[in-house]
Amino acid sequence: MAKVPAAAAAASGLVGGFAVARWTKKRPLGGVVLAAAGAAAAQQWRQNAGPKTAAALSTAYVAAFAGSHPLAKKVGAWPAVFTVAGGVGLASWAFADRRRAA
Protein backbone atom coordinates (compact mmCIF):
# COMPACT_ATOMS: atom_id res chain seq x y z
CA MET A 1 0.00 0.00 0.00
CA ALA A 2 1.38 3.38 -1.00
CA LYS A 3 2.10 5.91 1.72
CA VAL A 4 0.74 9.41 1.60
CA PRO A 5 3.76 11.68 1.08
CA ALA A 6 4.79 13.64 4.15
CA ALA A 7 4.37 16.86 2.15
CA ALA A 8 0.70 16.05 1.60
CA ALA A 9 0.19 15.09 5.24
CA ALA A 10 1.78 18.32 6.49
CA ALA A 11 -0.06 20.61 4.08
CA SER A 12 -3.34 18.79 4.73
CA GLY A 13 -2.83 19.13 8.47
CA LEU A 14 -2.53 22.89 8.24
CA VAL A 15 -5.50 23.29 5.89
CA GLY A 16 -7.59 20.60 7.57
CA GLY A 17 -6.92 21.85 11.08
CA PHE A 18 -8.04 25.33 10.12
CA ALA A 19 -11.09 24.03 8.27
CA VAL A 20 -12.21 21.84 11.16
CA ALA A 21 -11.73 24.66 13.67
CA ARG A 22 -13.58 27.11 11.47
CA TRP A 23 -16.54 24.91 10.53
CA THR A 24 -17.09 23.28 13.92
CA LYS A 25 -16.32 26.49 15.83
CA LYS A 26 -14.21 24.29 18.13
CA ARG A 27 -10.58 25.38 17.96
CA PRO A 28 -9.32 22.45 20.07
CA LEU A 29 -10.78 20.02 17.55
CA GLY A 30 -8.86 21.77 14.79
CA GLY A 31 -5.77 21.49 16.97
CA VAL A 32 -6.24 17.73 17.16
CA VAL A 33 -6.28 17.52 13.36
CA LEU A 34 -3.24 19.80 13.14
CA ALA A 35 -1.30 17.76 15.71
CA ALA A 36 -2.23 14.35 14.28
CA ALA A 37 -1.18 15.30 10.75
CA GLY A 38 2.00 16.93 12.07
CA ALA A 39 2.89 13.79 14.02
CA ALA A 40 2.30 11.59 10.97
CA ALA A 41 4.44 13.85 8.80
CA ALA A 42 7.19 14.01 11.44
CA GLN A 43 7.36 10.23 11.59
CA GLN A 44 7.84 10.06 7.83
CA TRP A 45 10.39 12.88 7.90
CA ARG A 46 12.39 10.93 10.47
CA GLN A 47 12.24 7.75 8.36
CA ASN A 48 13.03 9.46 5.05
CA ALA A 49 15.58 12.10 6.04
CA GLY A 50 16.73 11.50 9.61
CA PRO A 51 16.13 13.15 12.98
CA LYS A 52 17.80 16.52 12.28
CA THR A 53 15.77 17.14 9.15
CA ALA A 54 12.63 15.92 10.94
CA ALA A 55 13.27 18.39 13.76
CA ALA A 56 13.81 21.24 11.29
CA LEU A 57 10.66 20.41 9.31
CA SER A 58 8.63 20.02 12.52
CA THR A 59 9.82 23.46 13.58
CA ALA A 60 8.80 24.82 10.18
CA TYR A 61 5.36 23.20 10.58
CA VAL A 62 4.78 24.88 13.96
CA ALA A 63 6.22 28.18 12.68
CA ALA A 64 3.88 28.03 9.68
CA PHE A 65 0.90 27.57 11.97
CA ALA A 66 1.99 30.50 14.12
CA GLY A 67 2.93 32.64 11.13
CA SER A 68 -0.41 32.13 9.44
CA HIS A 69 -2.10 34.25 12.11
CA PRO A 70 -0.33 37.57 11.44
CA LEU A 71 -0.31 36.82 7.71
CA ALA A 72 -4.10 36.37 7.82
CA LYS A 73 -4.46 39.97 9.00
CA LYS A 74 -2.80 41.11 5.78
CA VAL A 75 -4.16 38.72 3.14
CA GLY A 76 -7.13 36.97 4.75
CA ALA A 77 -7.51 33.69 6.58
CA TRP A 78 -7.78 31.18 3.75
CA PRO A 79 -5.04 32.71 1.58
CA ALA A 80 -2.74 32.72 4.62
CA VAL A 81 -3.44 29.07 5.41
CA PHE A 82 -2.92 28.01 1.80
CA THR A 83 0.31 30.02 1.61
CA VAL A 84 1.90 28.47 4.71
CA ALA A 85 0.62 25.00 3.79
CA GLY A 86 2.24 25.34 0.37
CA GLY A 87 5.50 26.47 1.94
CA VAL A 88 5.63 23.55 4.36
CA GLY A 89 4.62 21.12 1.65
CA LEU A 90 7.37 22.38 -0.63
CA ALA A 91 9.97 22.21 2.15
CA SER A 92 8.86 18.69 3.02
CA TRP A 93 9.13 17.56 -0.57
CA ALA A 94 12.54 19.21 -1.03
CA PHE A 95 14.15 17.88 2.15
CA ALA A 96 12.41 14.55 2.79
CA ASP A 97 9.99 13.22 0.17
CA ARG A 98 12.28 13.83 -2.81
CA ARG A 99 14.99 11.74 -1.12
CA ARG A 100 12.63 8.81 -0.81
CA ALA A 101 11.64 9.00 -4.47
CA ALA A 102 15.26 9.13 -5.67
Residues 6+ apart with CB under 8 A from 13: 33, 34, 35, 36, 37, 38, 40, 41, 61
Structure confidence by residue, pLDDT tens digits, 19-54: 999 999 999 999 999 999 999 999 999 999 999 999
Amino acid (1-letter code) at residue 46: R
| Structure confidence at residue 2 (pLDDT) | 53
Residues 6+ apart with CB under 8 A from 6: 40, 41, 44, 45, 48, 57, 92, 96, 97
Q: Is the pLDDT confidence value at 60 over 50?
A: yes
Q: Is the pLDDT confidence value at 1 over 50?
A: no
Average pLDDT of the chain is 94
Q: Is the pLDDT confidence value at 3 over 90?
A: no
pLDDT confidence band for 6 (50 / 70 / 90) = very high
Question: Does this model's pTM top 0.85?
Answer: yes
